[in-house]
């Protein structure tokens, strides 16, 4: 397919989604974090709100329930554990394929 | 990034039972398909890494659109496939709920939402690639469509279930939920673009990982040699 058609389709999809996002942003409370926005919107209905779309001063923060309940160590621990398992599986898969040239496992007879 | 962030007891009991049952049926079907058809080793590896990345980024709020988090479920679906993508959605939601991010009673509903994102993204990506799209627009578009479908499903689940203690009649609740769904569609664009760049990069260095080359043909690298 011609490239301009691909990117035109993608741009159209993005335009529709961004327009919906902007409407959702203003109608559900403006610059509210997602959890507060959900609770407020579903209890009291749609309300107009403002604020900046991007607030770099706020920074990237861990989700409130984890941060406020003291689960940071658990979060970091699980993330590291998952990372180790993921990398381990990747290395295992790479080596497994190199050894016998086959990558299909768990196949039933 | 669709994820139902409501507390325990927000949904009526029948809704919890319904969504949990549907979630169990979905996961059972996925496990059955995996046991019957088997999975490729490289998909297991990608699922492991995808699950780790998805869980970590799931807990991080970025300062856009007020404060949202991403899921990477579109990326996981494209890389690991629809079956493992659904299982990753379950694992990420269980661990997130264990840390207080999402209600335990909503694990079934949230798994349905996130699994639908991975499944739709995978099939959308395959369809677009068959239509001879380039990697970036195909993956970015597929992830955006997948995440949008998850957002719509999230809204449908909330509207069908109703919210305990809400003063809103069902019609007003639908309008309010539509706002949340709309916000998610905007976020889907951000995550879709990110997914597009990641898939494009992977396709350039390891096309076999995204199913764009015969895995057996991989061998000669274009990297620096001695």
Cβ–Cβ below 8 Å for A89 and B47: yes
Q: What's the pLDDT score for residue B108?
A: 94
Q: Which CATH number fits domain B13-210: 1.10.760.10, 3.30.465.10, 3.40.50.1820, 1.10.1760.20?
A: 1.10.1760.20
Which of B35, B185, B195, B196 is the best mutation test for A, with the most CBs of A within 10 A?
B185
Mutation target vs B (from A1, A5, A10, A102; most B CBs, 10 A cutoff): A10
A21–B56 CB contact, under 8 Å: no
Are B168 and A42 in contact (CB < 8 Å)? yes
Residue of B nearest to A74 (CA): B99
Which of B59, B144, B158 has its CB closest to that of A66?
B59
* B66–A31 CB contact, under 8 Å: yes
Query: Residues B102, B93: contact at Cβ < 8 Å?
Result: yes
Flag whether pLDDT at B45 surpasses 70: yes
- Domain spans, chain B: 13-210
Mean pLDDT over B52-64 rounds to 86
Pick from A63, A67, A90 the residue to mutate for testing the B interface (most B CBs within 10 Å): A63
Q: Closest approach of chain A CAs to the CA of B60, in angstroms?
A: 4
Q: In the predicted model, what is the mean pLDDT of residues B185-208?
A: 90
Convert the pLDDT of each residue in B110-146 to its tens digit.
999 999 999 999 999 999 999 999 999 999 999 999 9
pLDDT of B79 above 70? yes
The pLDDT, as a whole number, for residue A102 is 53
> Do the chains contact at A42 and B69, CB–CB below 8 Å?
no
pTM recorded for the entire structure = 0.83
Residues of B within 8 A of A104 (CB-CB) are 38, 40-41
ipTM of the complex: 0.86
The larger pLDDT score, comparing residue B105 to residue A105, is at B105
- Tens of pLDDT along A56-86? 777 777 887 788 888 888 888 888 888 888 8
pLDDT of residue B226: 34
Q: Alpha-carbon distance B127 to B129, whole Å?
A: 5
Q: What is the mean pLDDT of residues B39-66?
A: 83
Output the pLDDT for position B145. Answer: 97
């Amino acid at each position: 397919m011609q490239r301009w058609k691909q990117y035109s389709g993608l741009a159209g999809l993005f335009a529709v989604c961004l327009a919906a996002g902007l409407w959702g942003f203003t109608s559900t409370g403006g610059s509210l974090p997602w959890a507060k926005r959900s609770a407020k919107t579903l209890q009291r209905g749609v309300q107009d709100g403002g604020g900046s779309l991007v607030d770099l001063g706020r920074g990237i923060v861990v989700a409130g329930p984890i941060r406020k309940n003291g689960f940071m160590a658990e979060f970091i621990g699980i993330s590291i554990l998952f990372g180790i398992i993921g990398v381990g599986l990747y290395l295992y898969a790479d080596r497994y394929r190199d050894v016998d040239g086959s990558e299909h496992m768990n196949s039933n007879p | 990034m669709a994820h139902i962030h409501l507390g325990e007891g927000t949904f009526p009991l029948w809704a919890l039972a319904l969504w949990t049952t549907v979630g169990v049926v979905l996961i059972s079907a996925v496990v059955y398909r995996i046991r019957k058809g088997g999975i490729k080793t490289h998909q297991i590896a990608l699922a492991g890494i995808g699950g780790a990345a998805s869980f970590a980024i799931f807990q991080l709020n970025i300062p856009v659109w007020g404060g949202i988090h991403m899921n990477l479920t579109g990326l996981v679906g494209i890389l690991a496939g629809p079956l493992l993508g659904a299982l990753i959605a379950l694992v990420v939601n269980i661990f997130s709920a264990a840390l207080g991010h999402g209600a335990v009673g909503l694990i079934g509903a949230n798994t349905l939402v996130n699994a639908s994102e991975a499944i739709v993204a995978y099939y959308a990506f395959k369809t677009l690639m068959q239509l001879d799209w380039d990697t970036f627009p195909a993956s970015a578009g597929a992830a955006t469509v997948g995440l949008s479908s998850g957002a719509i499903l999230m809204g449908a689940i909330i509207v069908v279930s109703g919210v305990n203690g809400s003063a809103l009649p069902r019609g007003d609740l639908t309008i309010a939920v539509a706002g949340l769904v709309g916000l998610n569609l905007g976020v889907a664009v951000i995550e879709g673009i990110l997914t597009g760049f990641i898939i494009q990069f992977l396709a350039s260095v390891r096309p076999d990982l995204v199913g764009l080359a015969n895995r057996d043909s991989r061998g000669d690298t274009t990297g620096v040699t001695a």
